[in-house]
């Protein structure tokens, strides 16, 4: 591809690379994730720099990955002997195409989609964007193959202008961002190898995940100096099953689940209060009971889990909050069941029965300790579940572990067990009381002011990228004690979702998101705005790269964790 783009301006290089990558179906969980990385590998190998230095571009196998995914690394050294290095990172997997409906066959064809949307009558805005010629449509065009293309074009630029590079850049391309984040977490071991083997000092990471208008008429381009974290708090609910003819004597786990969803889902009272930031509330991602077929017996158990963004709070804070909220809900449910039974007794004039609707609430850690205190061998139970279900989906496996422990419990006590399931994403943000972080903010402010003057764009700096991004795994703020609330309540995390927390803490790489700009990410009208994304953004990243490396060329960098 190098021969096709070598003489083109950056705008056209980025556009051609983007269209090439969008044309490859790389939906998360498919072999296309491997195909698109190998395509990028071949593109890079064609650059003269990598022809001269073939060992500077390579693939890393993702260990124990069910698909056999690979990560790509490309290193470009500057004109000095500096070890200071900036990471360019991007993911190349996409969400599915079910939303495209009858246009599924065109989902990866920007040209075909552009032709369709130019006469699309249902949404005037989409039709107008298509007719303008300034937008590229297609699955992954915005999220985020155009972002990967920007990095590739800048790698080409710096490989041909090494005199402008007072340090090094390291490109990291990976898959599985839309699901389990196996790509970036496995890349950490390679970053560690390079840090030790080449003595690289990672001063900054630049991600190009997409940014989008936050309100109607919003023209600002958002730069994010950090990334929100994510927890997946999960609830296994065990009630008391009964025949529907005796329903008031039971404890319905579906009712408890419904009340949990009502209390937690989109409840803004449970969010952190950070002025000026797009802070999002908990969102229910799954709620179901465990009945396998129709019967007239009420469900014995139910389960649900929530996406829970964390910004400045810790997992410890969230766990404490959710336990208290669950206890309040269960107390309300107990009162409700008692009231309904009292009405029943009054209407039927039947003698009252000795019934209890007490519901206990415990964390996974507490429940395991309780069972062990009563002599139950929890270790053998857990290992049996793992041995019998080697390929089970991770969240299903966590629920199955909890269920197996419950089945070994001789006490028939209604209970809600709260735990964390994978994935967990740390939050990564700049702190105002940290000298390094304050310097980053000052430098970034200066760079953006220059770009505003040169381009007429209006930039707005935010603290947290409001969606999920791989930059989460480049730094971690929690202490071991603060992490214990998470890890002690995530079943078998060391085997099921192993994250090298110590290595992340040593890296402590600040991650800035300077993203491609567009609309409707994860929708069938997904599109990227070419004038900003293909022209302004590459220049902004080049300017940022040179400025940050220049400022630290001849000093002992304050960016590096010692």
pLDDT in tens, 422-479: 999 999 999 989 999 999 999 999 999 999 999 999 999 999 998 889 999 999 988 8
Alpha-carbon distance values, 504 to 87, 88, 201, 426, 510 (Å): 15, 17, 14, 10, 11
What percent of the chain has pLDDT above 90? 93
Q: How far apart are CA 384 and CA 379, in angstroms?
A: 9
pLDDT (mean) for 312-318: 95
* pLDDT recorded at residue 406: 97
* pLDDT recorded at residue 562: 27
pLDDT in tens, 103-138: 999 999 999 999 999 999 999 999 999 999 999 999
How is residue 432 annotated by DSSP? T
pLDDT (mean) for 269-282: 95
pLDDT category at 412 given cuts 50, 70, 90 is confident
Q: What is the pTM of this model?
A: 0.93
One DSSP character per residue, 38-68 reads: HHHHHHHHTSHHHHH-GGGEEEEEPTT-SS-
How is residue 472 annotated by DSSP? G
Q: How far apart are CA 242 and CA 248, in angstroms?
A: 9
pLDDT (mean) for 87-93: 98
Distance of CA 175 to the CA centre of its chain: 12
What dihedral do alpha carbons 369, 371, 375, 377 form, nearest 10°?
-90
pLDDT in tens, 39-79: 999 999 999 999 999 999 999 999 999 999 999 999 999 99
Give yes or no for residue 559 having a pLDDT over 50: no
Q: Whole-number mean pLDDT of the chain? A: 95
pLDDT in tens, 138-197: 999 999 999 999 999 999 999 999 999 999 999 999 999 999 999 999 999 999 999 999
Distance of CA 309 to the CA centre of its chain: 10
* pLDDT recorded at residue 466: 86
Which tokens belong to 88?
Answer: 């360019």
SS3 70: strand
pLDDT (mean) for 275-289: 96
Neighbours of 411 (CB within 10 A): 10
């Amino acid at each position: 591809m190098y021969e096709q783009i070598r003489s083109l301006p950056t705008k056209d290089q980025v556009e051609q690379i983007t269209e090439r990558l969008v044309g490859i179906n790389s939906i998360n969980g498919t072999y296309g994730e491997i195909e698109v990385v190998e395509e990028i590998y071949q593109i890079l190998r064609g650059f003269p720099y990598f022809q001269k230095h073939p060992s500077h571009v390579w693939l890393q196998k993702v260990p124990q990955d069910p698909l056999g995914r690979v990560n790509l690394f490309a290193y470009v050294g500057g004109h000095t002997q500096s070890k200071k290095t900036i990471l360019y990172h991007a993911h190349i997997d996409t969400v599915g195409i079910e939303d495209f409906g009858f246009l599924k066959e065109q989902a990866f064809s920007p040209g075909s989609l552009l032709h369709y949307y130019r006469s699309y009558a249902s949404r005037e805005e989409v039709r107008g964007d298509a007719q303008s010629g300034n937008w590229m449509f297609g699955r992954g065009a915005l999220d985020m193959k155009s972002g990967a293309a920007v990095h590739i074009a800048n790698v080409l630029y710096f490989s041909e202008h090494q005199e402008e590079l007072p340090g090094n850049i390291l490109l990291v391309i990976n898959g599985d961002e839309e699901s389990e984040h196996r790509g970036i977490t496995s890349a950490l071991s390679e970053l560690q190898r390079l840090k030790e083997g080449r003595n690289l000092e990672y001063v900054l990471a630049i991600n190009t995940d997409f940014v989008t208008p936050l309100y109607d008429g919003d023209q600002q381009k958002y730069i994010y100096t950090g990334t929100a974290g994510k927890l997946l708090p999960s609830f296994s609910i065990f009630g008391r099953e009964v025949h529907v003819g005796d329903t008031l004597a039971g404890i319905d786990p579906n009712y408890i689940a419904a009340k949990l969803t009502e209390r937690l889902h989109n409840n803004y009272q449970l969010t952190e209060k950070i002025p000026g930031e797009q802070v999002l509330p908990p969102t229910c991602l799954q709620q179901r009971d465990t009945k396998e077929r129709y019967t007239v017996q009420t469900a014995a158990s139910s389960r649900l889990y929530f996406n829970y963004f964390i910004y400045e709070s810790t997992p410890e804070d969230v766990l404490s909050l959710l336990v208290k909220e669950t206890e309040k809900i269960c107390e309300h449910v107990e009162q409700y069941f008692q009231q309904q039974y009292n009405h029943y007794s009054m209407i039927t004039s039947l003698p009252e029965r000795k019934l209890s609707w007490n519901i206990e609430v415990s964390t996974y850690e507490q429940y395991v300790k309780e069972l062990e205190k009563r002599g139950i061998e929890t270790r053998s139970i857990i290992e049996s579940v793992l041995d019998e279900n080697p390929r089970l989906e991770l969240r299903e496996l966590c629920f199955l572990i909890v269920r197996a422990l419950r089945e070994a419990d001789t006490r028939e006590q209604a209970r809600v067990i709260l735990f964390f399931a994978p994935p967990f994403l740390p939050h990564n943000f700049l702190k105002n009381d940290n000298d390094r972080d304050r310097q980053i903010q000052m430098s970034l402010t200066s760079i953006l002011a220059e770009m505003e003057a040169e381009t007429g764009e209006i930039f707005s700096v935010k603290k947290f990228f409001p969606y999920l991004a791989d930059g989460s795994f480049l730094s971690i703020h929690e202490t071991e004690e603060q992490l214990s609330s998470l890890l002690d309540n995530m079943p078998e995390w060391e085997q099921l979702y192993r994250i090298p927390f110590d290595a992340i803490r040593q890296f402590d790489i600040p991650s800035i998101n300077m993203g491609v700009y567009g609309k409707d990410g994860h929708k069938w009208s997904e599109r990227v705005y070419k004038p900003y994304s293909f022209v302004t953004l590459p220049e902004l990243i080049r300017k940022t790269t040179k400025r940050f490396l220049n400022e630290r060329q001849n000093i002992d960098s304050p960016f590096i964790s010692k």
